[in-house]
Amino acid sequence: MTKIGLEIHCQLTKLESKLFCSCKANYREFEPNHNICPVCMGLPGSLPRLNQKAVKSATSIAMALNCQTPEKIAFFRKNYFYPDLPKNFQITQLNVYGDMSVGGEGYVEVEGKKIKIRRIQLEEDPGRLIYEGASDRTKITLVDYNRAGTPLVEIVTDPDFENPRQVRVFLNILSDLLENLGVAEPGLEGAMRADGNVSIEGGNKVEIKNIGSFHDLEKALHFELTRQQSLSERDIEIAMETRHWDDRRKITISSRSKEEDQDYRYFLENDIPWVKIEQDTRDALKENMPESISSKKERYVKKFDIAPQVAEIIASDRYYSKLFEGAYSEHNAKDIANLITTDVIGFIDTKEKQQTSKITPKHLSDLIDAINAKTITRNSAKVALQEIMKSGKDTKTILKEMDLGQVSDSSEINAIISQIFEDEKQAVIDAKERPETVNFLVGKVMQKTKGKADPTKTLELIKSKLNQ
Ligand SMILES: [Zn+2]
């Protein structure tokens, strides 16, 4: 039987500062080695100070993943040498002598199957190595410590996945969940990374590291399964090892025999006292947790009769659900939902565009009102949305500027009606005899005004002219 487990690292990008110092958590905007201080560089005599908000964020992740959360947590030193780790140890957590990381024994439901979460721990990200040229042939490696000390949450699953596809579904669910919690931005480069471990019946466990994206993880898992099956068929032992994913050649390569926990010489980080997370704090965190994606979806379907697929799209994306929540009212929820999933999604399809878009919930409700009043067509709404996205001007102004708004001036409509009564004499006679054929004349007015005439007013005016 195939067994796949994951170790996911997720940066808490919504925090202001690093895990143990006041350097910025958002290292991405700095020149290399310009977001560092004696603490995150591990200089002698410097002392770490724990970012309490990071503990809260990590605890709420643990809660959202149905984990047990302990009353107090401790930090450990994981000792190893690597150029991206200036202290020669990483401050992390470990579950020994009972529960001491921020969470454990949770689960996530994936297509009806419970994937167990073994533990969640809070730790610091190391710096980054930058290779000049291909990593296996480079003569020069640069180090950028800006990232060192960034708050990171490690999520470890049991080997409960049966195939790479299940892994992909799980990671999608997890990244939506983390984003919904408002603690992370999984879409940011390097903000969410995953390593996998794979074993097949009778074989040893192999870890795969260095995977750049979820898409690559799936490819790497497929490659590794095929490699192990081929070894097993030839009766060759599958060695317990760590393999690196070579993105260029799309294969895994053996990198080192796997270290055991004891190789890291874990010991308690005595510079950080045990942290107590009072029951009150945990209750408050639970209470203030944003509504989960699944309960949001259920609410949209039940309360507004929105199609489950539409509800799913909106509920699982923070940006769309914020637009929806701000825009809907009792009478237009379904229309707002459809406008988001057919038109808005069409051109705001990346996180970057979501960030720069100037569309507000009010724009959407105004547009729906205009559509429902039949003063603009769906197509005009789409054209208007694209302009709103860029300029953010209010809906009325946009409709006017782009000449998309309705024609509601009675004298203007009457002038057109007179013209049509001249051109369509037979239709006028028909309408006088059979009132139900009046729609033909309304249609003609619409045609002439390119759909911009107020339909209610047009009908009214035609009827009164017919009775004259
Ligand atoms: Zn620092």
Q: Please return the burial class of 389, using the count of CB atoms within 10 Å of its CB with bins 0-12, 13-18 and 19+.
A: middle
What letters, b where the CB count within 10 A reaches 16 and e where it falls short, cover 146-169? bbbbbbbbbbbbebbbeebebbbe
Pairing mode of beta strands 267-268, 72-73? unpaired
Least Cα distance to 243 among 231, 229, 227 occurs for 227
Q: Ligand 1: distance of its center to the CA of 384 in Å?
A: 47
DSSP for 334-398, written as a single string: HHHHHHIIIIIHHH--SHHHHHH----HHHHHHHHHHHHTTSS-HHHHHHHHHHHHHH---HHHH
Query: What's the 289 CA to ligand 1 centre distance in angstroms?
Result: 29
Is the distance from CB of 82 to CB of 125 less than 8 angstroms? no
Determine the distance separating the centroid of ligand 1 and the alpha carbon of 54, expressed in angstroms. 15
107 Cβ partners below 8 Å, 6+ apart?
A: 65, 66, 114, 115, 116, 117
Read off the tokens for 305: 């009769």
Give me the pLDDT at residue 259, please. Answer: 61
Per DSSP, 213 falls in state S
Q: Give the Å distance between the CA of 93 and the centre of ligand 1.
A: 20
Cα of 32 to ligand 1 centre, how many Å? 13
Q: How far is the CA of 416 from the centre of ligand 1 (A)?
A: 72
Residue spans of the domains in the chain: they are 3-284, 291-401, 410-467
Cα-to-centroid distance, 125 and ligand 1 (Å):
12
Residue 95 CA to ligand 1 centre (angstroms): 27
Q: Which candidate, 429, 452, 404, 410, places its Cα nearest to that of 441? A: 429
**Cα 42 to averaged position of ligand 1 atoms, centre (Å):** 9
Tell me, in angstroms, the distance from the centre of ligand 1 to residue 264's CA.
24
Q: What is the mean pLDDT of each run of 10 residues along the chain (468 residues)?
A: 93 96 94 95 94 95 93 93 91 80 92 92 94 72 94 96 92 90 88 91 85 85 90 86 83 73 83 92 90 88 89 88 86 87 85 84 89 78 86 85 76 89 90 88 84 79 87
pLDDT recorded at residue 76: 94
- For the record, the structure tokens of 12 come out as 């808490």
In this predicted structure, what is the pLDDT of residue 63? Answer: 94
Under DSSP, the state recorded for 62 is: H
φ, ψ (nearest 5 deg) of residue 440? -60, -45
pLDDT of residue 123: 97
- Going from the Cα of 171 to the center of ligand 1, the distance in angstroms, rounded, reads 31
Report how far ligand 1's centroid is from the alpha carbon of 50 (Å): 12
Q: What separation in Å is there between the alpha carbon of 297 and the centre of ligand 1? A: 41
Please return the burial class of 262, using the count of CB atoms within 10 Å of its CB with bins 0-12, 13-18 and 19+: exposed
Q: How far is the CA of 6 from the centre of ligand 1 (A)?
A: 29
Q: CATH fold of 410-467, please? A: Arc Repressor Mutant, subunit A (1.10.10)
Full-model pTM: 0.76
Which amino acid, one-letter code, is at 204? N
Cα(57) to ligand 1 centroid in Å equals: 20
- Token pair 């579904």 is found at 169
